[in-house]
A and B are shown apart, each in its own frame.
Chain A
Amino acid sequence: MTDTTTLTETREAGFGDYVQLLKPRVMSLVVFTALVGLLVAPVHVHPVVGFASILFIALGAGASGALNMWWDADIDAVMKRTRSRPVPAGRVEPGEALAIGLALSGIAVVMLGLAANLMAAGLLAFTIFFYAVVYSVWLKRSTPQNIVIGGAAGAFPPMIGWVCATGHVSVEAWLMFGLIFMWTPPHFWALALFMKEDYHKAGVPMLTVTHGRKSTRAHILAYTALLVPVSVWSALSGIGGPFTLAAVVVLNAIFLQGAWRIWQRDEAMAEGDGYRVEKRFFRYSLSYLFLHFGAFVVEAVLGTYGLGGW
């Protein structure tokens, strides 16, 4: 055996594998929502401080993603959607993922405290703890409400962005939190409807597995209906205005119509057209969140010209 063959047998991780460990797609959503929280806050933030704050919030989110991948490596290996992730695929050692997750968590929290304020750093630390421990370790495998409660972790970034600018939590920050919190269940349950085999095989108690698919459809409609008042309230708050309200009415009407159609369908219909409605609802849910938060930014920009806000 030569040196070369020995090396061939070891699949060493490339830099991209470590980037994958941080869940860059989730990070992009975190960056966007945290940036919106920072931009719509009524306090001007120096661009360098703002950039650094968003960077460290994203790093914290990435760190919690690495911790999640370390803990969930066994079920990730079973699910088609996740089996090519660096840890289950064997490209990154589980211990390495844990070390990276812990180290980056510490760096992100300390640096956010130095860049912005201690309140923002504390919230980031709590978010990482919530996602890695409360959601990944505790809730995900023990309750079908995992998505509902775990969704809070994804809802914190705009609040942290707001706190970076203002130094405290106010009703607008809670409304942005509530928006993502209420949006998460219908978003993930729609995914669970057409990725049903994955969660079933992995033994994750998704609502589709524990309560059945009919119940999941009803839950999607219920949570979408509960999302509407939060969304409208946010449009009527200090970060909203006439433009946001108009956008929110349209966005919610389409979202609610999608949820209604999902509720009316049964499995035979869904199997018949390859879960077309469910897949479309899932894709639209991403646009919904992007456009909803985008409307807040447009309102803030209009406000600087004396055209936006109430």
Chain B
Amino acid sequence: MTFKTEHEIHKRRLGRNIGVGLTLLAFVAVVFGLTVVKVQRGDPMQAYDHVIRPDLAAPVEAKP
């Protein structure tokens, strides 16, 4: 036997699931947008682990 009755609670659960789904999609979109902007602008990132390494800076030319 199949359960066919479409009850109000099913509509509410569907609405809740759609709401959560859209929220998660929006969150992914925001994180993606942020990532693109940060990478394009080269935000203060110090290598792969975000640690400042003086040896990565451009070498200062020695004065004669």
Contacts of A13 in B (CB 8 A): 12, 16
A49 touches B15 (CB 8 A): no
The stretch from A4-12, A28-36, A134-142, A222-230 touching chain B is A4-12
Is residue A55 contacting chain B, with contact meaning CB distance below 8 A? yes
Taken together as a complex, chains A and B put the C-alpha atoms of A3 and B37 apart, in Å, by 51
Q: How big is the A interface, by class?
A: 20 to 34
| Interface residue SS majority, chain A | helix
**CB-nearest residue of chain A relative to B30?**
A52
Is residue A114 contacting chain B, with contact meaning CB distance below 8 A? yes
B7 touches A15 (CB 8 A): no
| Interface residue SS majority, chain B | helix
Interface residues of A in 144-200 (CB under 8 A from B): none
A10 touches B30 (CB 8 A): no
Contacts of B9 in A (CB 8 A): 7-8, 10, 12
Min CB–CB distance B4 → chain A (angstroms): 11
Min CB–CB distance A45 → chain B (angstroms): 10
Is residue A115 contacting chain B, with contact meaning CB distance below 8 A? yes
Q: Which 6 A-B pairs have the closest CB atoms?
A: A15-B19, A14-B12, A15-B16, A48-B37, A7-B9, A48-B33
Which A residues have a C-beta under 8 Å from some C-beta of B? 3-4, 7-8, 10, 12-16, 18-19, 46, 48-49, 51-52, 55, 111, 114-115
Known: A3-B5, A13-B12, A115-B34. 17 other contacts (CB 8 A): A3-B3, A4-B7, A7-B9, A8-B7, A8-B9, A12-B9, A12-B16, A13-B16, A15-B15, A15-B18, A15-B19, A18-B16, A18-B19, A48-B34, A49-B34, A49-B38, A52-B30
Instruction: Sample 27 A-B pairs with CB under 8 A, ordered by A number.
Output: A3-B3, A3-B5, A4-B5, A4-B7, A7-B7, A7-B9, A8-B9, A12-B9, A12-B12, A12-B16, A13-B16, A14-B12, A15-B15, A15-B16, A15-B18, A15-B19, A18-B16, A18-B19, A19-B19, A48-B33, A48-B36, A49-B34, A49-B37, A51-B30, A52-B30, A114-B34, A115-B34
